[in-house]
Structures are given as C-alpha cells and as structure tokens.
Amino acid sequence: MTIQDFDVVLAAAQEGSAWAWENLVSELGPRLVGFFRVRGVTDPDGLAGDVFADIAANISNFEGSESGFISWVFVIAYRRMTDEWRRRNRRPDEIPSGLDSDPAGTAPSAEDVAMETFAGIEAAKMLEVLTDAQRDVINLRVVAGLTLEETAQVVGKPVGAVKALQRRGVAALRREISRRGVSP
C-alpha cells in the first residue's frame, strides 16, 4: 500500500494542510489500529491517535522517502505500544479506556461485537504459539503491510533476522493450524 503522490502529501502535511492529514490518517490509521489490535492493546484507536499526535509534533523534521516515513510512523507506534504495556504492568487494575459509553449515543450491534470479539480471540489464540518477536514481525508484515526493510527498522533487527523470524513464525502458524484441524 502506498500513499499516492507521497512527496506532495508530505510537504502539505508539513505545512499543516487538512487534506494532507486526512490522506495520511486514512492510509495509515487502519494499519496502526490493526497492528495495535493484534498485539492486544487495550485502546487501539486511542493509541493510534497518540501516534498521530507524535507525528504532527515532529513531521516538520522528517526528511525521506515514503518507505522511510512508514518505518518512522511504526517505530513511533512500536514505542507507544511498549510504553502502554509498561504502564499496564504498573497499574494492572486500571479500567481500560473505551469501556465507557459511545459519545455518539449509538452502540454496535450485538452480532458485530460478538463476531469481532470471536475473531480477535481466535486470532490471539493462534498467535500465542509465536514468540513475541515472531508475533511482532508477522503483525507488521501482514496487518500493517510493511516491507521487510521497514519491519527491520521498526523492530531494530537486520533484514535477515526479520526474514528468519517471519519464516519461523509462518511455520509455527502452519503447524498450529494443522494441529487444530482448521482449513486455511
């Protein structure tokens, strides 16, 4: 997935253009939320918002390609996620955000909640067979859609190590699917 006319969008976002920010949020927001959701973040939408706040505060200093930008965004996301885990471990009894009522006064249907919850639980169970490093690599490659090079930059490992983690992670998932008798 690429951001169309990246250089133009970046320059406009650096100048504070609303249309450029809408473009960045629409392209990167779902990828960030998916990345956080797979990793068990309590409030993936809120954390994605925090990442965009960090981006807004620092985008004027960014210079580079689209690939570099995406890596930069996910490095911020990865660090934010790590900070949340540390915070959660310090205060495990804290009520997760997002449990209060919907500000618009509407709630999703029970069927939507059940399907999303079931899918999330099943995906999380499948991913439990992976190491944390394998889970991060698979999540960044599949959910966030990052390249090997971008993933390597985010996790701070050489591309060869990322390839090995991905290969081992996929093999472990195949074994788990076979063990459970799930058809791919």
Q: What CATH code would you report for 1-101?
A: 1.10.1740.10
Start-end of CATH 1.10.1740.10 domains in the chain = 1-101
Residue 144: what pLDDT? 83
Q: Is the per-residue pLDDT at 103 higher than 70?
A: no
pTM of the model: 0.65
- How many angstroms separate the CA atoms of 173 and 182, rounded? 11
Q: pLDDT tens digits for 139-163?
A: 888 878 889 999 999 899 999 999 9
Domain 110-184 grouped into CATH 1.10.10.10:
yes
CB–CB of 96/44 below 8 Å? no
In which band, very low, low, confident or very high, does the pLDDT at 165 lie, cut at 50, 70 and 90?
Answer: very high
How high is the pLDDT of residue 56?
Answer: 93
Query: Averaged over 125-138, what is the pLDDT?
Result: 85
Cβ-contact 134, 163 below 8 angstroms = no
The pLDDT of residue 84? 85
- The sign of the torsion formed by the CA atoms of 160, 82, 60, 25 equals positive
